[in-house]
Structure 1
Amino acid sequence: MAEASVLPAQPSDAEEIARIQLDTWRTAYTDLLPPEVLDALDPAEAALTWRRTIEDGPARVFVAREGASVVGFCAAGPAPAEETASAAGEPAKDAATVTLVSTLLVEPRWGRRGHGGRLLAAAGDALRAEGSTRGIAWVPEADKASVSFLERASWVRDGTVRTLDAGGRPLREIRLTGTLRIELV
């Protein structure tokens, strides 16, 4: 394996991040999202959104590299209070120090090489340094690979679920929570 690293994303990474996001969704979410939703994803619009996020936040974006290739990315930042709320709508007592891992994707052909763990660890280290105490992530319940990955990182399902409208099809997501101190083995 070539040398692997994780670095803060640069605006010049936005197009590659968008490509990875769209390609990964089109590969991994064909059973979760209607074809018209996946077909409507616009690479230029996604790249612009990622460029703005990298430049202005509020999330921090990190890229995983293997050699010269960007192979994955993670976006994480302060969790909006409503994202930390219980099913009854009560914000978590620690809401001000919770990080939302909004996206963590590794291109499937680069999977199972430790990139996801390095991305989560780097994001966790950076956000702990800024005062975050724990992380949360919303994951499609049917995305067994992502749920399993977070559970291997010692994150747990906290019992909170939500259902989104995914192009007229319900998409049930579960929330997982865990430490931002990721032990890589």
Structure 2
Amino acid sequence: MSPTADVSARLAWPDDAAAMVRIQLASWRSSYAHLIPADELAALDPDELAERWAATITTPQDARLRVLVALERADVRGFALVHPSFDPDSDRVADGEVGEFVVDADHQREGHGSRLLQAAMDTLAADKFTRAVWWLNVDDDALRAFVTESGWAPDGAHRELGSATGATVKQVRLHTSLA
């Protein structure tokens, strides 16, 4: 018998929040340094952010808002947030959204993203959504390649989000069928 890795994806527990914040802040520092001033990132209180994530996990604003984690043994390697799509052109009954998706940079390309994405799609489908949408930064080629290789495609929607620094983030919306 060959050895197997102890990896999985599951719904997040409140105790996962601190690890999620560690991964999230590291991602923000590398991906959004041009949008969020370094002093603002440094001023963020990890304990306060963990409390917010724990509250989101335990008392979500919508019963279909779910946080999932990718695990290696008991260590959180990534997380995803799925929920009804809040876009003005979406059907809140049919359209679910991947609102957040982060895999620890030190553990990418180890299958955690694939497991996490499958868990997110299974969760959205179990909540009776028939389509999923995901806003991606147009310059995140690695994530876009991963997502499109998983069957997602642009649906023609674009948006720009402004930041405190005056910079903008351009995003494209991708979609996939859950049916």
- For the aligned pair, the TM-score class normalised by the smaller chain equals 0.7 to 0.9
1:147–1:31 distance in 2 versus 1, CA, 3 Å: farther
Rounded to whole Å, the distance in 1 between the matches of 2:161 and 2:138 is 12
**1:179 aligned partner:** 177
Q: Secondary structure at the match of 1:105?
A: strand
CA deviation map 1:76-105 (0-9, x unaligned): 01112xx1x4xxxxx24x442111110011
**1:26 aligned partner:** 29
Q: 2:112 aligns with which of 112, 115, 124?
A: 115
Rounded to whole Å, the distance in 2 between the matches of 1:172 and 1:179 is 24
State whether structure 2 residue 163 is matched by structure 1 residue 166.
yes
Deviation at 1:35, TM superposition (A): 3.1
Asked if structure 2 preserves the Cα contact closer than 8 Å seen for 1:121 and 1:180, the reply is no
| Range with bigger deviation, 112-121 or 23-32 | 23-32
Asked if structure 1 preserves the Cα contact closer than 8 Å seen for 2:77 and 2:104, the reply is yes
CA deviation map 1:144-173 (0-9, x unaligned): 122112111111111211111122211111
**2:94 aligned partner:** 97
1:53–1:95 distance in 2 versus 1, CA, 3 Å: same
Asked if structure 2 preserves the Cα contact closer than 8 Å seen for 1:33 and 1:169, the reply is no
Rounded to whole Å, the distance in 2 between the matches of 1:41 and 1:180 is 36
Asked if structure 2 preserves the Cα contact closer than 8 Å seen for 1:32 and 1:142, the reply is no
Consecutive unaligned residues in structure 1, runs of 5 or more: 86-90
CA deviation map 1:36-72 (0-9, x unaligned): 4433433122212111110112320111011221100
Rounded to whole Å, the distance in 1 between the matches of 2:97 and 2:177 is 12
Rounded to whole Å, the distance in 1 between the matches of 2:37 and 2:138 is 16
Aligned length: 172
Identity of aligned residues (%): 38
CA deviation map 1:120-160 (0-9, x unaligned): 11121122112111111111111112211211111111121
State whether structure 2 residue 80 is matched by structure 1 residue 79.
no
Amino acid at match of 2:17: A
**1:88 aligned partner:** none
Rounded to whole Å, the distance in 1 between the matches of 2:133 and 2:80 is 13
Deviation at 1:180, TM superposition (A): 3.7
Rounded to whole Å, the distance in 2 between the matches of 1:100 and 1:40 is 29
Asked if structure 1 preserves the Cα contact closer than 8 Å seen for 2:19 and 2:76, the reply is yes
**2:57 aligned partner:** 54
